A and B are shown apart, each in its own frame.
Chain A
Amino acid sequence: MRYGLKVAYRHLASNLSQTGLLVIGVAVAVFIFIFMSALIGGLADLMVNRTLGGFAHVTIQAEDRELPVLETGSNAELLVARQKSTRDATGIRDALPLLPVIDQLSGVAVSSPQITGGAVLIRGERVRQVGVTGVQPDRVTAIVAFDRYLQEGSLSLTGDGLLIGATLASDMNLSVGSPVTLRTDQGNTASLRVSGIYSTGVGQLDRASAYVDIRTARSLFDIPNAVSRIELKLTDLYEAEAVAARITATTGLDAEPWTATAQQLYEGLRAQSDTGLILKSFALITIVIGVASSLMLTTYRRRPEIGIMRAMGASQGFILFIFVTQGMIVGLVGGLIGASLGLAVLTPLTPSGEVAAGQLPIDVAQGSFGLAIGLTMVGATLAAILPARAASRIDPVEAIGQ
């Protein structure tokens, strides 16, 4: 239908002001779609990071251990106060062989086996209580994006490396290269050196957390083979419940989605996402109405021409094709212009690191550019079908005015 394409193009090109306005309208709607996607996505990330910091989407932990109950003699009564939640100090024994299986599950982006425990960080006279997390050196950034928050030094944890928050470093007057001692509740100690200082903006992480090589953590907490927990990042934040259920079903391990521990945040993000969806739908509806009404007018204006074309032997299918193609071209060109505009405007607006006060938390990477162009093309094409059908059914005799 090369000839049909030519006729469609000629129709659009013959009235450049009308076509231009239509394309600009579509482009603006596409820009709004992309802007909303980037803003809602960036806002969600900001809320998640600000509220929960480096949190995992799914956490696999050791199951609560049943504490033994004292045996009683036949003539004795026993009153017991039972401690509810005590985790096995040895952590998850069977998880490591299952790691490759978990990594392969659909929806899982990355996993991070960890050993955690309490300790005190000692530098001369200064002592601070910290939560220690032992992570694999190659997965330091798997859960918390330390690469974005690093202020000083490097993320290298191999050997005696230690990663701490800026507040803690300031409290203890530490800088990169400072030697420190870590003493655990078990009484084990390790001499370490500060390799990196980060600032996430999350109080607990910056003030009372320390990250070490998982091998260091093993000896510190006497966990030679197991892990305390496995944290997962998913490709889609909102799939956490389904993925957790899949992990439990596949591995038998206790997997907890982030939604279970942060229900309010989850609901807030959902509401925000739904609002974004509604606004994006309005943008699409605007495109559909704009294209449909414009092509309706074009169809009306070109009735005599349509009549002439039908008289010359153009089939109804040919007429349908040229008008649907016009919708498609408008959708494609408007989509590409809107997407280019979005990229040009939103890229400089995307904060490179931490979102400053008063700055919009736009994330251009979440702009859904492909989706915006695709949906626009589909929307514009569908919008063109009604006027195109009307055009193809025009009575040539009536149209020619005889």
Chain B
Amino acid sequence: MTPPDAAPLVELRGLTKTYGEGETATMVLKGLDLTLEKGRMIALLGASGSGKSTLLNILGTLLRPTAGRFTMLGQELFGADDATLTDFRNRHIGFVFQFHNLLPDFSALENVIFPTAVREGVESAQARLRGAELLELVGLADRTHYRATKLSGGQKQRVAVARALMNKPDLILADEPTGNLDSVSAQQVMELIKVVNQREGTTFLISTHDERIAAQCEGRLEIRDGRII
């Protein structure tokens, strides 16, 4: 495993997130503090409604916090505009979702290279080469040109892992990545995540309800009532 660097990858301080306004306002994150070091593979646990997904979305720059400090790779992201956040997300963050993971009209390879192609405006030969390597890494070299809709659930998640790795991100956020898979496929995906974490040194934050998944991570964070406990 790659040893963690001294400087943290992510730092959250006093982070709050409130949905709605006035009497209907609901505070989901209540002054949350979090430090995430590089190269770690951490499980994020918590009951439904505890703020797990909200935290993951804020870390993925898909959702804006209401207040607090949010620093990643030394860059203050709180209050950054949409273009800055989109570019930052593209370069430094990868996602693996539980549902709706792949673009259905694209092949496995096209899905994998999407993050690079959308930034460069073209599907370069270099991107295709890396995409093919990543598909090989996730054991799907023989499914390169298969439409996403022709892949099984487990294969889709492995393609999603490959896509998350495409731009060599510093952080991969996985929200219930095995929640929709049978136990064999789920274990395959977890094995893959472990390999990537160890080989590439990529930081993983894996949101899960499953204790068996959490047990395979090297660390765990639990969120309750909007705070890390």
Chain A residues with CB below 8 A from B103, complex form = 305, 308-309
Contact B123 A314, beta carbon cutoff 8 Å? no
CB distance from A383 to the nearest CB of B (A): 22
Query: CB distance A305 to B114 under 8 Å?
Result: no
**Which residues of A, 268-316, contact B by the 8 Å Cβ criterion?**
304-305, 307-316
Instruction: Give Cα distance in the complex from A343 to B94, angstroms.
Output: 53
**B83 neighbours in A (Cβ, 8 Å):** 315
Most buried by B among A6, A309, A402: A402
B121 and A312 contact, CB distance less than 8 A? no
Closest-by-CB residue of A relative to B114 is: A312
Taking a contact as CB atoms under 8 Å apart, the answer to whether B62 and A396 are in contact is: yes
Given A308-B101, A310-B86, A313-B87, the answer on whether A3 and B117 have CB atoms closer than 8 Å is: yes
Task: List residues 234-286 of chain A with CB under 8 A from any CB of chain B.
Answer: none
B63: interface (CB < 8 Å): yes
Question: Is the CB of B163 closer than 8 A to any CB of chain A?
Answer: yes
Interface string of A304-337 (1 = CB under 8 A from B): 1101111111111010000000000000000000
CB distance from B184 to the nearest CB of A (A): 25
The verdict on A14 contacting chain B, using a C-beta distance below 8 Å, is yes
Q: Count A-B pairs with CB separation below 8 Å.
A: 76
Whether a CB of chain B sits under 8 angstroms from the CB of A127 is no
B30 within 8 A of A: no
With A3-B118, A402-B53 in contact, is A315–B100 under 8 Å at CB? no
- Whether A313 contacts B119 by the Cβ 8 Å rule is yes
Choose from A6, A315, A402 the contact partner of B175 (Cβ within 8 Å).
Answer: A402
Q: Are B95 and A311 interface neighbours, CB within 8 A?
A: yes
For A401, the chain B residues whose CB sits under 8 A away are 99-100
Contacts of B117 in A (CB 8 A): 3
B4: CB under 8 A from chain A?
no
Measured between beta carbons, the chain B residues less than 8 angstroms from A316 are 82, 86
- In the bound assembly, the distance between CA atoms of A195 and B136 in angstroms comes to 87
B123 touches A3 (CB 8 A): yes
- Please give, as numbers and ranges, the residues of chain A lying within 8 Å of B115 by CB-CB distance: 312-313
Contact of A311 with B118 at beta-carbon distance under 8 Å, contacts A316-B82, A402-B97 already known: no
**Pair A397/B57 contact, Cβ less than 8 Å:** yes
Q: A311-B60, A313-B167, A402-B57 are in contact. List 4 more A-B contacts (CB 8 A).
A: A3-B123, A4-B121, A305-B104, A397-B62
Partner-B contacts on A (CB < 8 A): 1-4, 6, 10-11, 13-14, 304-305, 307-316, 318, 396-397, 400-402
Query: Nearest 10 pairs between A and B by C-beta?
Result: A313-B90, A304-B100, A14-B105, A312-B115, A314-B118, A10-B105, A402-B53, A3-B117, A397-B62, A397-B57
